[in-house]
Structure formats: C-alpha cells, structure tokens
Structure 1
Amino acid sequence: MLTPTVVSHTTVRRASRNSPTSPRTSARCSSCAMRHLCMPQGLAPDDLPKLEALICNARSVRRGEALYRAGDPFDTLYAVRSGSLKTVMAHRDGREQVTGLRLAGDPLGIDGISTDFHTCSAVALEDSSVCIIPYSALKHLCRETGAMQDRLHRLMSEQLIRESSQMMVLGSLSADERVAAFLLDVSERNGQRGYSHAEFNLRMTREDMGSYLGMTLETVSRTLSRFQKRGLIDTQGKLIRIIDIEGLRHL
C-alpha cells in the first residue's frame, strides 16, 4: 500500500485561515485512524469527548501553502490529520533550513509555546489537513485532566528527542549513513501508521532532503543512485522502494 510521507506574516496567516481555498471541516478523534499516535493516545474513554470538544475543526492546507510562518503570533496547536508538512527555519542571511518532516498524527506548533510567537514555518508538502487545537482551551483541559497534561508533556519530549537525534545525524554520520537513517526513519513511521514500510512516496524534494540532512542536492542524488546500484533501494521519481532494509541498517 502506498502512502504520502513522508515559509507573509500575520496578515497572510489570517487571510489563509479565512480563505475559501482553506475550508474547515468537522474533526472527531474517535473516528480518526491516527488517534493511536496523536493527542488521544493514553486518554481514558471518559476524557476523549472533552478533547473532541476542543478539536472541533480540521483545516485543509494546499501543497506549498504555509500553515503558519516564523514570527506569527502563537495561539493554536495543530495535529496533522492527513498528508505531510515540513518545518523550516530561516538563517539571518535569508537561507532556509528544513528542520522536520511531520506526518499524519504528528503535532505542529509546539515551537510557539515558549515565546508566544512561532520560531519556524510549517509548509505543506502535499495537499494536507490539520486539526485545530486552541492552546488556551487545551491548557484549561490539562488543568482538569492529568492524563491530558501527561500526553502534552510526552509530545513535547518526543519532539525534543527527535530534534536531538537529528543533531546527532548531522554531527556524526557520513553522507551514506545520513540518507540511510532518513529512509529508515520514514519507513518506520509509515509502518506505525499502518502503511507499507517498504514502499512509499517521499514528498520531500531532493533539495529538501539535502537541507534536512546537511548535504548538497548533488550529494543526495548521488547517494540515492549509489544505493540503487547496490540493490538497497529502487527509486522512480518520488516513489521509494526499500529492497534491502538490513543493508541500509548496516551502512
């Protein structure tokens, strides 16, 4: 089974929220296939309706559209309901760095909690949808429900661990090891979502991969070609098929 995987400012953000091209639809955790990975994980059945009362809407985000941009005021957390988005930070000289890949079930917007402003941008890699979670209401629910507070803390910790692991990838692994680690990570995350771990559409461009892995576009392309020649993977455009997963693990 194939699956997609895996920055204007406040005025643009508000316009996007109200745009007819970004309609809102109802969202229910109890009927969402990603609830085992998302906010409801670990909640008692009696607590789920309280969370659903907060997450009453889902918003569509078109490919290439920014859900929010660095510098936008923070008041909302999001959960990816379908599709995928990348997070991007800008250097002082204007260069952009891809910092994360968010798949269905992943949280978005946690970066804004510290300063009440988003420190990165979130951009849709494909037509996607996100659930809308007002942060002030979520804080109130956390005070009422210890399990919800524990879940929010776990989500924050998981994001910290993922970012720390990415720093290790950038700081200590070779080009081959970086690309292999990335493909294995996407493979594992797809499996957690009930999709094929061996075959998937990688929505990130080769340039995005290079930015995320601290490599040039040319190095990414050469590495993937080398993997293909060695029989580790097969690539056809964005379609990636892992042929020898143990071979990737032992690079």
Structure 2
Amino acid sequence: MQFKHPAGRLPEPPNPIADDGDETRFCGTCAFSSACVAAGYQKPDLAELQCLVEHVGPFRTGDHVFRTRDPFRAIFAVRSGTVKTRIFDQDGHEQVLGFYLPGEVIGLNAIYPEHFPCDAVALDTAFFCRFSFPAMSALAARLPALQQHLFRMLSKELGSASLLAGDHSADERVSAFLVDLANRYAACGFSGSRFHLSMSRGDIANYLRLAAETVSRVLSRLRNQQLIRIQGREIELLDPVRLRQIGRALLDG
C-alpha cells in the first residue's frame, strides 16, 4: 500500500492466499469455519465438505466470475480480492448491486431462479472457493450448523438489498457505506479502520445511487471535518463513532 500514515507506512494486510490451512486448520478466510467451529466441527470432521470445494482463480480485474443467466450450480466464497455484482437495465445502464470481500459468499441470490440473476466481476486479482451447491445442500441436511449458517448468509444477502432503501442524504449514504465496509473488513481479519477501496468512485456512486461528483464532494467534506483520511483509494476512518452517527438511519434500520 502507498498511503502514508504519520507514524509511517500502513501495515500490509494479511494475505489470505498464504493461509490455506492444512489437514486440521481451516483456511484463514473460510466462509463456513466460524459456524462449524462454534458447533464443534473441526476440519477433519468435514472431509466431505472439502470434497465439494474447488479453488479457482486468479480472476483479473474486469473478469467475470459468472454472468447473468448462467446456470446456477455453485456458490463462490471469496478467498482474496474484491468483487462487484451488477445488472444492466433495459437501456443498457449498469446498476451496481453490491461488493464482496474475502470470506464473503456470492451467488446465494441464484438459489431460487436456478440461474444467476446478475454478473459478478472481479475488481482486482481475485481467488475463490467454489462450492457445489447440490452437494453442499445434501451435506447441510446432515450438519445442522452448516444448514443454519447457509440460512443466515441468505438472510444477510436479502437484508443488504434494502440497505439503501428510503430517502437519505448523500452524507448518510457515504458514511454508512464506509462504516459497513470497515465492519466487514474487520470481520474477515483485516484492519477495520484503514483499508484499500478496490471499487472506483463511479462504482461507489452507482451503488449508493448518487452522482460520482457527489461522492467525491462528500469524501472531501468528511476529510475536512477530520472524520477520515484519504489518499487515492487508501482510506483511514479517524472517527468511526461520528461516522456511524451520521449513517445510523441506514446502519440501524
């Protein structure tokens, strides 16, 4: 990372690809390890699950992980990198639906229609675990903890679709976006206060249903208020409590 901090260069984040686990340990960004460990399952107990997993990648910036209307046969857990999902309206305009970080799963919204309802595009070099969904469903029926975790992830996926619903100001939307992103980075083992924005200002604006110029103005205003420090795509949240207060209508809704 190139963003300078008064105390020096920001520390490098952990490399999830370098932490692929072994016969007894889960990978550092396994999307299912927390549920399995909490229920008393260790990796040796889940040998069948490992048979369902295929490591795929690298996908380079702009590569499609899957495309709209591709048949749904698997879900993808991000091991490294960042992904956006998107659709195009009837006039060919792109609409960004969400962003996915290491440890998060894409493809859950394809379960019912049995085909992917959107594109998934890599925003930087990305690697994935691809899980056969039919086989995983059969295994989840025998492992209640895994089944409940799938339901929780699906519920979270549906809930995130309404994150930006309602009439909210640009400051509220951008602040909520930054706090939500920070929380998600922290949940997957990265810094929750200093991180790299893999997505462009245009993608952020599209997702937040704002103009790119508006997002830039809000970021400048937050910086001038000393709530964030930003240089290029490197950002540090200096006052996450205040940012949460600004975006609380979206974060707590």
- Give the shorter-chain TM-score range: 0.7 to 0.9
Give the Cα–Cα distance (whole angstroms) in 2 for the partners of residues 147 and 248 of structure 1. Answer: 35
Residue type of the partner of 1:203? S
Alignment equivalent of 1:227, drawn from 222, 226, 232: 222
Q: 1:47 to 1:148 in 2, by over 3 A?
A: farther
Query: 1:1-251 counterparts in 2 under 5 A?
Result: 1-3=11-13, 30-35=25-30, 38-43=31-36, 44-45=41-42, 47-164=45-162, 166-168=163-165, 171-251=166-246
Task: Report how far residue 3 of structure 1 moved.
Answer: 4.4
CA drift of 1:59 comes to: 2.7
Distance in 1 between residues matched to 2:147 and 2:239, nearest whole Å: 41
C-alpha distance in 2 between matches for 1:243 and 1:143: 45
Aligned residues of 1:63 and 1:125 also touching (Cα < 8 A): yes
Q: CA deviation at 1:218?
A: 0.7
For 2:4, the equivalent position in structure 1 comes to: none
**Equivalent pair of 1:40/1:48 in contact (CA under 8 Å):** no
Say which SS state the counterpart of residue 33 (structure 2) adopts. Answer: coil
Separation of aligned partners in 1, 2:217 and 2:83:
25
CA contact (8 A) 2:175 2:243 kept: yes
Is this contact kept in 2: 1:179–1:213, CA < 8 A? yes
SS at match of 2:192: coil
Matched AA of 1:99? L
Give deviations 1:138-158, integer Å, cap 9, x for gaps.
122123322222221111112
User: Is 225-234 or 123-132 further displaced after alignment?
Assistant: 225-234
Alpha-carbon distance, 1:2 to partner: 4.6
- 1:241 deviation in Å? 1.4
Counterparts of 1:208 and 1:139, CA distance in 2: 33
Q: TM-score, normalised by structure 1?
A: 0.83
| Equivalent residues of 2:95, 2:206 under 8 A apart | yes
What do the CA deviations read for 1:27-81 (whole angstroms, capped 9, x no partner)? 869341123xx12332222642221121143332111111011111111111001
CA RMSD of aligned residues (A): 2.0
Preserved CA contact (<8 Å) 2:164 2:173: no
In the alignment, the residues of structure 2 paired with residue 227 and residue 161 of structure 1 have an alpha-carbon distance, to the nearest angstrom, of 27
Within 2, Cα distance between the matches of 1:150 and 1:53?
Answer: 20
Query: Conserved in 2, the CA contact under 8 Å of 1:187 and 1:198?
Result: yes
Is the contact between residue 81 and residue 127 of structure 2 (CA under 8 Å) also seen in structure 1?
yes
Query: Paired residues, what number?
Result: 225
Unaligned runs of 5+ in 2: 1-10, 15-19, 247-253
Does the 8 Å CA contact 2:107/2:116 hold for their aligned counterparts? Answer: yes
TM-score by length of 2: 0.83
Distance 1:27 1:110 in 2: 25
Q: Could you tell me how far 1:127 is from its partner in structure 2?
A: 0.2
Contact map agreement 2:55 2:127 (CA 8 A) in 1: no
Structure 1 unmatched runs, 5+: 5-25
One-letter identity of the residue aligned with 1:217: A
Q: Distance in 2 between matches of 1:155 and 1:249?
A: 23
> How far off its partner does 1:249 sit?
2.1
Q: 1:27–1:243: structure 2 CA closer, same or farther, 3 Å change rule?
A: closer
